[in-house]
Amino acid sequence: MARIDVTLPALGESVTEGLLTQWLVDVGDVVDEDQPIFEISTDKIDTEVPAPASGTVVEIRAAAGDEVEIGSVVAVIETDAGAVGDTQSPAQDSSPQTPAPNDESVDPPAEQAHTDTPPSGAEQSRSTDRNASTGPAPTGPTPTGPSPARPSANGPSVATTPPAASKDTKDAEQEPAGRESPVEASGDPSAADQAQADTEGDVQGHDAPSSPTDTDRSAPPRSERIPRSYLSTAVADHVAQSWARIPQVNMTATVDLGGLVGAIRDQQDSWTERHGFSLTLLPFVARATAAALAHYPVANSVLTNGEIEVSEDVNLGITVDLDRAGMVVPVIARASGMRVAQLAQACSALQRRAKQGAVSPSDLVGGTFTITDYSDSAVRSSTAIVNQPEVAGLTIGGIHPEVGVGHDGLGLRVVHTAVLSLAFDHRAIDGSTGGSLLSEIKRYLETWDWRQELA
C-alpha cells in the first residue's frame, strides 16, 4: 500500500511559488496517472498539474487560494484504492448523525401560526368596518413594503434596499375607512383626479416614470467587483516595475505595407488550405525584426545587475491576450534561423496553447525582444513598454488604407500603412541606435520580396 506525495513541480525559471486556484478532485476520488488534479497560477503561467500516479486521493493539504512553494506537498495519493476505502470507513461512521425529526415536536411555520391566531375584538371590529366600506379583502398576503425595483434591461440585476415608506403613505395606511382625505376635503377636482390617477397606477403596478426620483438619485451606483487572477496581478506588477525603473524612449515610424498586404492576400487561400490557419502580419514582422536585430545586437540583449548581456540567439517574445484574464508572452526561440512559414506556424501554435492555458513554463522564458501586434485592430499606434530585463520591444498598429506616395515615390496611390513603435531602455541603447534599428525594420517590411519568401 504505497502513499505518494503530490508536490508542486518546478514551473519555470525564477518561479518560487504559485497560487493554488482550484482543486479538480476531492478526497476519496480515484485518479489516473497524468490526470489533471489541480490548477496553479504563477507570474509566468496558469496551468493544470497532473497526478504523479494512479490511485485514490487520501489527503489534500493545501486549499484553493493558498500560496504554495515549489516542491511542497499539496496532496497524498494512495495506490491501493480498496484499502483506502476501508481506512476511511471508520472516519465516516464516527461522524455525528443528524437525528430524524419528530413529527410530534415540529412547530408549525411562523406564517401558519400567525394565520391561525384569532384576532382581538378591536382588530375584528376594525376589519369588519373596512370590509363593509371597501368590499372583500384580497385572499393573498398583504405586502408590507414597496415591490423591489425591476432589473435594468441594459445590465445585470443589482439588489437594492427598498426605500422606506414616506410619511404620506404611512398616514394613508392608518386612515380610518370612510374618512375624507386631505385632497377630497380641499374640493380641488384637479388635485383629486391626480391623486386618483396616482392610486390607480400604484394598484395596477405600472412601470416607474423614466425621470429619476429622489430615491433613484440617492441609491448607490451599480457596479461589479471583478477579482484579479494571480497571473494578471503578477503581470500588472511586472509592467508597473518596468515602467517605473526603466528610462524608456519611444520612437515611431509609418510603414507602407502595400506589397506585403498584397502577398498575404495572394497566398491566403492556399496557405489556409495547407496549414489550417490564416496568415497574419505577425510572422512577417517577426522575420523583419529578427533580420534587423542581427545588425544591431545590443537591442537583442538583457540588462541584469547593471550589465548588458547580448544574446547570440534572437528569442522573440509575442504578447498573447487571454480575453481580459491577463496576458502572457511565450517565446519563439532561435527565431533568426526561421523563414516566414516556420515563424507563422510557431506563432499560431504558441497563441493557441496560451489561450487554452496549455503553454509550458519553458515557453515563457529566455526572451530577448518582445513584439506586440495590433495589426488586425483599429488601434493606430501604441506606446510599448519594455519587458524587463529585455532592453527593447516593438509594437505594430492596425493597417489603414489611405492616399499617399508609395515607398518607391512614383505618384499618389492608395497605400496600406501601419505605425511601428519602438521602445527601448536608454541605459543600453542610445537614440541613434534605436532610430537606425526602427528604420531597418521598416525597410525590410517595405522592400522584401515576400512572395518569394512564401514560395
Task: Report residue 291's pLDDT band, with 50, 70 and 90 as the boundaries.
Answer: very high
Cell 494512495 sits at which residue?
78
Strands 369-373 and 316-318: parallel
Choice between 123 and 224, residue whose per-residue pLDDT is larger? 224
- The set of cell numbers assigned to 8 is 508542486
Please report, for residues 154, 156, 201, the alpha-carbon distance to residue 151 in angstroms, rounded to integers and kept in the order given: 9, 7, 20
207-226 burial, b if ≥16 CB within 10 A, otherwise e?
Answer: eeeeeeeeeeeeeeeeeeee
How many other C-beta atoms can be found within 10 angstroms of the C-beta atom of residue 446? 17
Give mean pLDDT, residues 399-412.
76
How many other C-beta atoms can be found within 10 angstroms of the C-beta atom of residue 106? 8
Give mean pLDDT, residues 257-261.
92
Choice between 332 and 9, residue whose per-residue pLDDT is larger? 332
Cell 504554495 sits at which residue?
68
- Residue 442: closest CA among 292, 316, 310: 292
What pLDDT, on the 0 to 100 scale, is given for residue 151?
41
**Predicted confidence (pLDDT) at residue 400 exceeds the cutoff of 60:** yes
Cell 488601434 sits at which residue?
379
Which of 13-17, 144-148, 263-267, 450-454 shows the lowest mean pLDDT across its residues? 144-148
What pLDDT, on the 0 to 100 scale, is given for residue 80?
72
Which of 22-26, 41-45, 424-428 shows the lowest mean pLDDT across its residues? 41-45
Question: In 3-state terms, the chain is what percent helix, strand and coil (to 5)?
Answer: 35, 20, 40
What pLDDT, on the 0 to 100 scale, is given for residue 217?
62
Cα gap 249→255, rounded to integer Å? 20
Cell 495572394 sits at which residue?
266
Which of 31-40, 187-196, 379-388, 429-438 shows the lowest mean pLDDT across its residues? 187-196
Give mean pLDDT, residues 440-450.
96
What pLDDT, on the 0 to 100 scale, is given for residue 143?
45
- Residue 334: closest CA among 348, 314, 361, 363: 314
The angle subtended at Cα 120 by Cα 118 and Cα 123, nearest 5°, is 110
Q: What whole-number percentage of the chain has pLDDT above 90?
A: 44
Cα gap 337→313, rounded to integer Å? 9
Task: Report residue 222's pLDDT band, with 50, 70 and 90 as the boundaries.
Answer: confident
Given a contact cutoff of 8 angstroms between Cβ atoms, the answer to whether 389 and 303 are in contact is: yes
- The set of cell numbers assigned to 389 is 530585463
How many other C-beta atoms can be found within 10 angstroms of the C-beta atom of residue 29? 17
Strands 392-396 and 369-373: parallel
**Predicted confidence (pLDDT) at residue 167 exceeds the cutoff of 50:** no
Bond prior to 109 in cis (omega within 30° of 0): no
- Residue 418: closest CA among 281, 324, 286, 249: 281
Cell 543600453 sits at which residue?
428
What pLDDT, on the 0 to 100 scale, is given for residue 207?
52
**Predicted confidence (pLDDT) at residue 417 exceeds the cutoff of 80:** yes
Cα gap 371→394, rounded to integer Å? 5
Task: Report residue 164's pLDDT band, with 50, 70 and 90 as the boundaries.
Answer: very low
What pLDDT, on the 0 to 100 scale, is given for residue 411?
74
What pLDDT, on the 0 to 100 scale, is given for residue 410?
73
E strands, 320-368, are 320-321, 327-328, 331-332
Given a contact cutoff of 8 angstroms between Cβ atoms, the answer to whether 413 and 389 are in contact is: no
Per-residue pLDDT reduced to its tens digit, 88-135: 443 444 444 444 444 444 444 444 444 444 444 444 444 444 444 444
Domains belonging to the chain, first-starting first, are 3-90 (2.40.50.100), 235-454 (3.30.559.10)
Cα gap 23→63, rounded to integer Å? 8
Q: 163 — phi, psi (to 5°)?
A: -65, 150
The secondary structure of residue 367, as a DSSP letter, is -
The secondary structure of residue 178, as a DSSP letter, is T
Cα gap 374→366, rounded to integer Å? 23
Averaged pLDDT of the chain: 77
Give mean pLDDT, residues 4-11.
89
- Provide the CA 379 distance to its chain's centre, in angstroms: 21
What pLDDT, on the 0 to 100 scale, is given for residue 160?
39
Amino acid in position 175: E
Q: Which residues are paired to 59 by β-bridges?
A: 76
What pLDDT, on the 0 to 100 scale, is given for residue 228?
72
**Predicted confidence (pLDDT) at residue 150 exceeds the cutoff of 70:** no
- The set of cell numbers assigned to 149 is 425595483
Give mean pLDDT, residues 388-395.
96
Choice between 270 and 12, residue whose per-residue pLDDT is larger? 270
Task: Report residue 5's pLDDT band, with 50, 70 and 90 as the boundaries.
Answer: very high
What pLDDT, on the 0 to 100 scale, is given for residue 19?
87
What pLDDT, on the 0 to 100 scale, is given for residue 248?
95
**Burial of 350: CB neighbours in 10 Å, binned 0-12, 13-18, 19+:** buried
Cα gap 12→41, rounded to integer Å? 12
- Residues whose CB falls within 8 Å of the CB of residue 149, separated by 6 or more in sequence, listed in order: 160, 162, 208
Which of 26-35, 170-179, 261-270 shows the lowest mean pLDDT across its residues? 170-179
The secondary structure of residue 339, as a DSSP letter, is -
